[in-house]
Amino acid sequence: MSVTVHLPAVLAKLADGRRALDAPGATVGQVVAHLAALYPDLAPRLRDESGRPYEFVTFYLNDEDIRLDGGFDAPVSDGDEITIVPAIAGG
């Protein structure tokens, strides 16, 4: 099972400049863990020391905020897209 993860510019710098990465996993958390293992510099930007997402980094699974549907435990399917967006605004 493989999903595509879209990174913002500030994180792409820590992943060899790549804005989109394919990674395996059955949940969002597993996909993130895979990326963290692949890119050690990226790892501490994706989740805190206890493995939770940061308050200021939002993960979207197919455009849906994962906090509305299980967080890192949200299941993913082949071909899904995860988008990472830091610190979005008010308005």
Partner 1 sequence: MIERSLSAHQGVRSQRCRICGVTSQPAPEAICAECLGPLEPVYDPDRPLPAPEEIARRPPTLWRYREWLPLTGRPLHATEAGWTPLVPAPALARALGIRWAWVKNDAVSHPSLSFKDRVVATSINAAAAFGMSTVGCASTGNLANAVAAQAAAAGLRAWIFVPDDLEPGKIIGTSVYGPRLVRVRGTYDDVNRLCAQVADHFGWGIVNVNLRGYYGEGSKTMAFEIAEQLGWRLPDAVIAPMAGGSLVTKLHKGFGEFLDAGLVRGAPPRVYGAQAAGCAPIVRLVETGGDRIQPERPRTIARSIAIGNPADGGFAARVLRETGGWAAAVTDDDLIAGIRLLAETTGIFTETAGGVTVAAARALARAGRLRADDELVLCITSHGLKTVEAVARAREPLPIIDPRLGAVRRLVESLDDEPSKLEAS
Tell me which residues touch partner 1 (CB under 8 A).
8-11, 45, 54-58, 60, 63, 65, 67-68, 83, 85-91
**Which residue's CB is nearer to partner 1, number 1 or number 83?**
83
Neighbouring C-beta atoms of residue 37, cutoff 10 Å? 11
Smallest gap from residue 19 Cβ to partner 1 (A):
9
**Which residue's CB is nearer to partner 1, number 10 or number 37?**
10
Smallest gap from residue 55 Cβ to partner 1 (A):
6
* Cα 10 from Cα 76, distance rounded (Å): 25
CB under 8 Å to 89, separation ≥6 — which residues? none
Instruction: State the distance between the two ends of the chain, measured CA to CA, in whole angstroms.
Output: 38
Smallest gap from residue 76 Cβ to partner 1 (A):
18
Q: Are the CB atoms for 84 and 46 separated by under 8 Å?
A: yes
**Which residue's CB is nearer to partner 1, number 24 or number 86?**
86
